[in-house]
Amino acid sequence: MACSLRKAITVCSVFRKSYSSIVAVASNAIRLTYNSTYVPQYLGTEFSISYENYKPGGVMFSRQFGSSRESETLSWGVSSDVVLLGKLESALRNHNLEEAWETYKDFKRLYGFPNPFLVDKLLTELSYSSDSRWLKRACNMVGSILKEKREMLRTELMTKLCLSLARAQIPVQASSILRLMLDKGNLPPIDMLGMIIFHMVKTDTGMIVSSNILIEIYGSSQQLTTKKSTCTELNKHNTLLFNLVLDACTRFGSSCKGHQIIELMAQVGVTADAHTISIISLIHEMNGMRDELKKFKKHINQVSVPLVSCYQQFYESLLCLHFKFNDIDAASDLVQDIYGFQVSHHEQGNETTPPKPCLVAIGSDNLRTGLKLRIFPHSLSRDSVFNVGRNQVLVMYKNGKLVLSNRALAKLIIQYKRSGRINDLSKLLCSIQKKGSVESSRMCSDVVAACICMGWLEIAHDILDDLDSEGNPLDASSYVSLLTAYCNNNKLREAEALLKQLRKSGVINASDPLLAPASMCELETESKKKLKELGSLAKGELAYHIVEEMRAEENEASFMMHDLNFSIYFFMKAHMVEDAVRAYRKMQAMKIHPTVSTFMNLLNGYSSLGMYREITILWGDIKRNMKSHKNLNTRDLYEFLLLNFLRGGYFHKVMEVIGLMKENGMYLDKWVYRREFLKYHKGLYLRIKVSDAKNDVQTQRIEHVRHFRKWVGLD
């Protein structure tokens, strides 16, 4: 009995000592927290409680910070919420997230939220973690705070979390935080917003949500200008944000979304710099909008020589579009401009007036009625993060100058040969050679050598004659190569005629015994071998590109397709729907397969006029073409269809497109579709049950609306 009593006394003593240490820890935590000078900005001084006001057995914390539930008092005179708060403070001080999170959950379950200072500190610790698990828990924590105590969330805190989510490549949650901030009218500062989007656009999903957020921000900024928020700063023409999103659109092939961003820039007055124009060039090339890109040329021609490398992509895209439209004259003019660009600017010197921003029409050519994009082609951000020009294969930048690649030269040769205009090709080569650069002289020699290698000896001979008549003859090696080719192909008559011509003009030495007519077919093996080597050295890789381009050469149907697509785009922009449909029917009659641009041009026109029924009819054509052409299964096309079916109230089509996007593994930004639904059909069928439907059609529509509401999270 005595032994049992002694054991009980010992256990009680140990138990009392343990809880005394807990109370000491809690007291120290309280002293550190509430004797500090920091007071959260949204707390008044009347809510600050110092440690000196503490009385054993009393209530330590103001109930403004917790729930209305009374705290439980332990038998030794300390309330349990004090112990939990002390434990939470200690865990946060030691950066022990596991213990801090579990303690926070316990306190939240028993008493509600802790004081705002501890909530801030916990969210900050979670935000600084590189573990996606903690970042997602921080998002869940923000969600619960928004439901119960929105005023506890500060803009700085949400900005930290948003940046961490973006860095960790969790763009969907990052976009949710940004959208919550947008709802409150408090976005991050512009530089911080740029950093967030910079990290988000590294993935396909991040590009999707970033472009949608940009549209939401600038679409709502006009309504937020009266508020004292960072949204008012968005009208200061922040080009970086648009460059980041536009660049991502080109990297992930979302050209239609990119075109939408370009139009948004024109609507809100954001200025396009040199990088913007280069990215726009890629987007117009992807969409086949040659005439839209040509509008920039006269302004780019005025930039200084140091900026010429920044517009390499512009010349690349424009030249590519000239080839796609089979416009050899426009391509030839552009090539001459490329080689004459540096010469003309060098002659101008520095006597130029300070450059000024200018306007470029978007869509309609009428600057008074159409959209106007404000561009400043002389402007270039020094801290740029872009690498525009990933697709450059036609125009190269060498030794501080723009030059044609062998692939571009091969395209020129093929198109001139196909149209039987070798004389015009010679004129182009002569014009380039007159620029006086080493690259231009080498180009003429390479063209002649490549023609000889391809067996086009007459063409090579004509080019040599044309250059000679213009006073720009090539060196002897090109003529020797042609003589060798004539000999190897047993064309002795042509060889002797060329030899007489050369001797007469003095291009070669008349006393050279190696080139005597009598010995043309009696050359020794070693001499013939040397002549072949001489010819092969000049041709380079140009002949290889000619062969490759001939294999991949587009047919007339392809050229016509680009023309018809542009016609549809032009007619729809001018609201000439019947003419646009006529061009589309012509495409079908010619058995030319429509492209994504074809359908997007038609959809944009119908959508701008609110012709949603016509879109449902066009949807049938799109589905039929998708069965045989998988390249039509693009997210841009599906998203635009989905938005228009939503606006028109065709919920059967809405659910059909959603199902197809899921089948193709495409990300769906539910936030956008929920917003569109609430904008056009907020109260649709809220008070009508399925049993109240008048017919089967209405029954199905009610069910589709309910399925959609459930999918976007409204029900």
HEC string of 453-475?
HCCCHHHHHHHHHHHHHCCCCCC
Do the Cβ atoms of 477 and 538 come closer than 8 Å? yes
Predicted confidence band of residue 383 (pLDDT cuts 50, 70, 90): low
Predicted confidence band of residue 510 (pLDDT cuts 50, 70, 90): low
Predicted confidence band of residue 388 (pLDDT cuts 50, 70, 90): low
* pLDDT at res. 689: 78
Is residue 254 scored above 90 in pLDDT? yes
**How far is 515 from 496, CA to CA, in rounded Å?**
10
Predicted confidence band of residue 642 (pLDDT cuts 50, 70, 90): very high
Predicted confidence band of residue 687 (pLDDT cuts 50, 70, 90): confident
* pLDDT at res. 339: 85
Predicted confidence band of residue 390 (pLDDT cuts 50, 70, 90): low
Name which residue leads in pLDDT, 185 or 387. Answer: 185
Is residue 71 scored above 60 in pLDDT? no
Tell me the average pLDDT across 688-706. Answer: 83
Which of 47-51, 521-525, 639-643 ranks highest by mean pLDDT?
A: 639-643
Is residue 238 scored above 60 in pLDDT? yes
Global pTM? 0.81
Is residue 515 scored above 60 in pLDDT? no
* pLDDT at res. 653: 96
Is residue 10 scored above 60 in pLDDT? no
Tell me the average pLDDT across 288-311. Answer: 88
**How far is 408 from 381, CA to CA, in rounded Å?**
30
Is residue 184 scored above 70 in pLDDT? yes
- Contacts of residue 395, Cβ cutoff 8 Å, sequence gap at least 6: 312, 315, 316, 319, 338, 402, 403, 404, 405, 408
CA 231 to mean position of chain CA atoms? 23
14: burial class by Cβ within 10 Å (0-12, 13-18, 19+)?
exposed
* pLDDT at res. 603: 96
Predicted confidence band of residue 384 (pLDDT cuts 50, 70, 90): low
Question: Is residue 361 classed as helix, strand or coil in its secondary structure?
Answer: strand
Tell me the average pLDDT across 318-338. Answer: 94
429: its two tokens: 């080569």
Predicted confidence band of residue 126 (pLDDT cuts 50, 70, 90): very high
* pLDDT at res. 540: 58
Length of the chain counted residue by residue: 715
Predicted confidence band of residue 495 (pLDDT cuts 50, 70, 90): confident
Between 58-72, 494-508, 577-591, 604-618, the lowest mean confidence (pLDDT) is in: 58-72
Is residue 29 scored above 80 in pLDDT? no
* pLDDT at res. 469: 85
* pLDDT at res. 256: 93
Do the Cβ atoms of 513 and 465 come closer than 8 Å? no
Tell me the average pLDDT across 269-278. Answer: 92
* pLDDT at res. 37: 31
| Integer CA distances (angstroms), 309 to 208, 340, 391, 403, 491, in order | 30, 15, 14, 11, 47
Is residue 139 scored above 60 in pLDDT? yes
Q: What are phi and psi of 547, to 5 degrees?
A: -65, -45
Predicted confidence band of residue 293 (pLDDT cuts 50, 70, 90): very high
Predicted confidence band of residue 550 (pLDDT cuts 50, 70, 90): confident
Name which residue leads in pLDDT, 504 or 25. Answer: 504
Tell me the average pLDDT across 539-565. Answer: 83
**How far is 85 from 99, CA to CA, in rounded Å?**
12
| Integer CA distances (angstroms), 152 to 173, 354, 593, in order | 20, 51, 57
**How far is 125 from 160, CA to CA, in rounded Å?**
10
Name which residue leads in pLDDT, 135 or 529. Answer: 135
Tell me the average pLDDT across 117-141. Answer: 90
* pLDDT at res. 61: 36
Distance spanning both ends of the chain, measured CA to CA = 67
Q: What are phi and psi of 73, to 5 degrees?
A: -100, 125
Predicted confidence band of residue 227 (pLDDT cuts 50, 70, 90): very low
Tell me the average pLDDT across 191-203. Answer: 93
Do the Cβ atoms of 197 and 241 come closer than 8 Å? yes
pLDDT > 70: percent of the chain? 76
Is residue 84 scored above 60 in pLDDT? yes
Predicted confidence band of residue 60 (pLDDT cuts 50, 70, 90): very low
Is residue 541 scored above 90 in pLDDT? no
Tell me the average pLDDT across 507-526. Answer: 50
Of 549, 333, 588, 596, the residue nearest 450 (C-alpha): 549
Is residue 33 scored above 50 in pLDDT? no
Is residue 450 scored above 60 in pLDDT? yes
Condensed to tens digits (0 to 9), the pLDDT of residues 155-165 reads: 888 999 999 99
Do the Cβ atoms of 21 and 28 come closer than 8 Å? no
Between 43-52, 56-65, 372-381, the lowest mean confidence (pLDDT) is in: 43-52
559: burial class by Cβ within 10 Å (0-12, 13-18, 19+)?
middle
Is residue 369 scored above 90 in pLDDT? no
Predicted confidence band of residue 190 (pLDDT cuts 50, 70, 90): confident
Question: Is residue 236 classed as helix, strand or coil in its secondary structure?
Answer: coil
Tell me the average pLDDT across 433-460. Answer: 83
Residues pairing with 359 in the sheet? 374
The whole-chain average pLDDT of the chain stands at 79
Between 147-161, 221-235, 459-473, 599-613, the lowest mean confidence (pLDDT) is in: 221-235
Do the Cβ atoms of 331 and 341 come closer than 8 Å? no
Predicted confidence band of residue 354 (pLDDT cuts 50, 70, 90): low
